[in-house]
Amino acid sequence: MMRTFLVSILLFSLSPLAWGDDFFYHGSFLWNDIRDVKVSGPYMYCAFREGVGVIDLRRDYFRKKLLTTLEVPGYPTRLHLADSLLAVETESGEIGIVRLGDSGEMALLGLVASVGEVADAAILDDFLYLGVGYDGLVRYDISDPDDYRYDDSSLAGIHVIALAVVDSFLLALDDYNGVLYYRPEAAGIGAPVAELLLPQRAVSMKIHEDTLYAGLNPNGFMVCSTADPYAAEYLGTRSSYIRADEIGFTPQGLVLSNAAAGFELIYADGPDTIDQIFPVSGKRGAGLLFAFGGDDYIVYPHSDWGLVSYIVNDPYAIDVNFPNLVYASPGPIIQIAFVNGRLHTVGRRNWYEMYDLSRPDSPLRTGKLINPPYQPVGMFSVGDTLFIADEQTNLVFPAVDPGLGDPVVVPPFFSISNRIGQPNRVPEFFEDGDLIYCRAGNFIVGANRRAGSVEVNKINWGFPSEVMSSLFSGSFLFCGLFSGGLQVYQIDTLYRKNHLLTLSAPGMVNDLAANGPYLYLAADGLWTYDISNPLQPVLLDQTALPGTINKLCLCEEMLYCAGTTGLWAFSLESNIPQYYQNGGDPATMLAVQGDIVAASDGHSVKIYSRPVLDVEESLPDHVMAPSFRLHGYPNPFNPNITLVVESPRAGGGKVIIDIYDLLGRKIRSLSGAMISGRPMEVIWDGRDADGQAVATGLYLFIAAGDGLQATYKAVLVK
């Protein structure tokens, strides 16, 4: 691992192609994994793994789209609404302070260092208060919203779990002592000025019309009068079936929401009281009550769907098996691809949409699949026809994409004999039509699609190990294995496979890509093979990268890689990958069209553009000469390699070639002279400066002369 890291540093610090800036980031869309929700006026704020999204309830709630989004570092988990600010808890322990605008816009003011687990937030005058459990209260001065600062902390040792503001009083619920009343001054929070003793420990607090309600554990709630803060009075306890983690109010009565059980309605219906529980499964945390369009809704962030909500006006009309609205998110994103100029995004939960990325800063949703599969696991395309594999029904759904508007699923559907895995396309492999196949663990199964008909289950190939990636070249099938290694098979016209050989690979082979006779392999590094003769593949290059490569994408003589350390781009001008630039966030999926790069980690789709290098600002003009090249043959070599330097200059000049090993040590220098722009050849005999034969491994060659520079890598195999 240390060697890999060192050679990576060497390659990227010395390579002449490392001038480019990181990929320019435009933003992300299609967020999923809703974790918490808060409502303020007409806007619903949702905490996603990537940040905070806003739904305009007046126009976007039933349209199932986000008005806007704001990325918050650290992976948000919970939201705390306080007037015009959101306190956003994150997995990293920091708290993001977000300013809310009148039109739904948001601005991240900054991150507060961890102060403990935030239970609630409130704003009083020019201060933001956070209840942080046993650390009591923490206060921030927000009189200048663009320059908030820590102001005061006190009450260490009490356990603040809820906050409320009544007139000029700040109420802090301490689940041991009751409700403490404060009248903070500019100098600090100060000591409590009043106290409401509660006979039992509370788990929640909500104030409604001068009455304080406090939820009890394991069930029930207490009622208190708060009309006079200095004479607050405990009025008694009311029973309930569930613990009130959240308390809401409607004209008919109370709604108690529990993080585990569901919600309970306590409604007055004439002389009778309706007390009924409605269990809800799959939720993440307690529900939130809000009024919208003349109805009262309770909404839950859901583990399988984005949001589920129920109208609770009429308890007799509630059916928990049929929510009034399922605001579905795509679930885990399982594939992205450019088809007909649009970015197609496939989500695990019946989600298939298309986006126009011609304006990367503002992705435009331009279509969705009508009647998509139930559990899509991937897609591929042949011309304007899409094929979407569905795991639940074990069917492949064809659909026609006109390039604008909604694609429509068209028959015939067809099934295959084994469970469907990640599908791929085999273009023009057999003369009698295209073979469509899907990977399913240790099997590749598929059908031959002809005009107007489908021959199903034409292939059913078993393999000794799970196939992670596969690719056809002529009649040869290359399979990257989960257990590591690359297997080569020959396929005859009767769909029979014959195992030819197995090649070594650095770990699990996640993806394969081919550019003419060159095969690129993504694993713990990037390997390049010459497969001109598939019976004898030749390893040409090993590029060590930090982390693992998950996905490859070829576009306009560039090879893009998505991996655990972000995005990487390599030039294929000489067919051997030459480092170009890197940046962005870790990703498992990748799609490229022109200079637009879309990447996803399964949670959201992030949009980047490949920057165009500014020659004048980056380097002197002569350094950018693209024709100055260094290459060699044979590669791999033993023991000699001929190094060839080519230059566009008409004149001659001395060229020095420095040779480095995996640890970044310079082991030898060679020299030669260019004559009238002709290629210069220098032979290295595989020995160091002391004349000792060097070991098997990867070596880096750097040629420099007359202001020009180029690099090349080759493998010595003994």
| Residue 308 · residue 322 · CB < 8 Å | no
| Residue 135 · residue 112 · CB < 8 Å | no
Task: Give the per-residue pLDDT at 145.
Answer: 63
Task: Give the per-residue pLDDT at 662.
Answer: 63
> What pTM, to 2 d.p., does this model score?
0.74
Q: What is the DSSP string of 462-499?
A: E-SS-EEEEEEETTEEEEEETTS-EEEEEE-TTS-EEE
Partners of 561 in the β-ladder = 552, 568
Partners of 221 in the β-ladder = 215, 238
* Helix/strand/coil (H/E/C) assignment for every residue in 364-398: EEEEECECCCCCEEEEEEECCEEEEEECCCCEEEE
Task: Give the per-residue pLDDT at 587.
Answer: 95
| Alpha-carbon span 265 to 272, nearest angstrom | 13
Task: Give the per-residue pLDDT at 713.
Answer: 76
Q: What is the DSSP string of 579-647?
A: EEEEES---SEEEEETTEEEEE-SS-EEEEEPPPP-HHHHS-GGGG-TT-EEEEESSSBSS-EEEEEE-
- Residue 677 CB coordination number (10 Å): 14
Partners of 556 in the β-ladder = none
Phi and psi at residue 180, to the nearest 5° = -100, 135
Read off the DSSP letter of residue 320.
T
Task: Give the per-residue pLDDT at 628.
Answer: 67
| Alpha-carbon span 478 to 292, nearest angstrom | 57
Task: Give the per-residue pLDDT at 24.
Answer: 87
Which residues of the chain are modeled with pLDDT < 70?
A: 1-22, 114, 145-146, 148, 153-157, 270, 371-372, 424-434, 449-454, 611-628, 648-652, 662-664, 676-677, 706-707
Q: Which two tokens stand for residue 278?
A: 């409605």
In sequence order, what are the residues at sequence separation of 6 or more whose Cβ sits closer than 8 angstroms to the Cβ of residue 560?
552, 553, 554, 567, 568, 569, 570, 590, 592, 597
| Residue 386 · residue 378 · CB < 8 Å | no
Task: Give the per-residue pLDDT at 549.
Answer: 93
Task: Give the per-residue pLDDT at 213.
Answer: 95
Task: Give the per-residue pLDDT at 16.
Answer: 30
Among residues 633, 717, 697, 31, the alpha carbon closest in space to that of 345 is found at 31
The CA-CA-CA angle for residues 20, 509, 557, to 5°, reads: 35
Q: Which residue has the tokens 């600062």?
A: 149
Partners of 654 in the β-ladder = 673
Task: Give the per-residue pLDDT at 389.
Answer: 85
- Alpha carbon distance, N-terminus to C-terminus of the chain: 23
| Dihedral over Cα of 62, 66, 68, 73: its sign | positive
Here the contacts of 327-330 (C-beta below 8 Å, separation 24 or greater) are 327/55, 327/61, 327/64, 328/64, 329/31, 329/32, 329/33, 329/34, 329/305, 330/30, 330/32
Q: Which two tokens stand for residue 281?
A: 């499964």
Collapsing DSSP to helix, strand or coil, 338 comes out as strand
